[in-house]
Copies of this chain bind each other. A is one copy, B any other.
Amino acid sequence: MHDIPSLDARSFRELCADHGLAATHQRQMLYDVMRTMPGHPSPEEIYARLKRRIPAISLATVYKNIHLFVERGVLKEVSMHHGSLRVEMNGHPHHHLVCSQCKAITDIEEEDFGMLPTLQRLPGGFEVDRYAIDVIGICAACQKAKSS
C-alpha cells in the first residue's frame, strides 16, 4: 500500500502531522498531483489525473480532502466567491469586503482606498479591463459570534 515516491514522503508525513491529518496514500498522491498540475485545475481535473495513479480513488475522496486541506490551512481557495451567482447594480467604481467566515459581501467605494494598485509587468498580450479588489477578513458579526 505504498510506492511511487516522487514527492518526499518524509516531508509529506511531517506536513500531515503538523496539521493533524493522517498521512494516507491517497492524500499524498492528491497533494503531489496538485503540486505538479499547472494553473488552477478543477476537482474533476485533479480527479482524472489522480485516477491514473490510484485507479480506485473516488471523486468524493478528492472533494473531502481538498476541503480538509483548506480547513487546516494546507491550501487556500482561489476565491471567496464560489457559491451562487451574485450580481450588482452599484454603478460607481467600488470593491468588496468579504467575510471569510460567513461569506457576506459588503461594498467599499473606490475613494476609500488611499492608493490603487498599479501593474508594472504583465504577461504578454493581456489587455487589462479593470481591477477587482477583495478585502478578506472577519466581519464584526462573526467576531462577536466567535468570542461568545
Contacts and interface: CB of A to CB of B under 8 A. Distances in A.
Interface of A: 34-35, 39-44, 63, 66, 69-70, 75-89, 96-97, 99-100, 104-106, 108, 112-140, 143
A99 B130 CA distance: 11
Copies in the complex: 2
Contact of A96 (B66, B78, B114, B137): B78
Given A75-B88, A76-B88, A85-B77, A136 B126 contact: no
A140 B125 CA distance: 5
B129 A119 contact: no
A117 B87 CA distance: 24
Interface of A: prevailing SS: mixed
Contact of A39 (B83, B104, B121): B104
A136 B125 contact: no
A77 B66 contact: no
A21 B119 CA distance: 37
A115 B112 contact: no
B123 A113 contact: no
A62 to B, nearest CB: 10
Instruction: Please list the 8 inter-chain residue pairs (A to B) with the smallest Cβ-Cβ separation, ordered nearest first.
Output: A125-B140, A79-B81, A78-B86, A40-B86, A128-B137, A132-B134, A129-B137, A75-B87
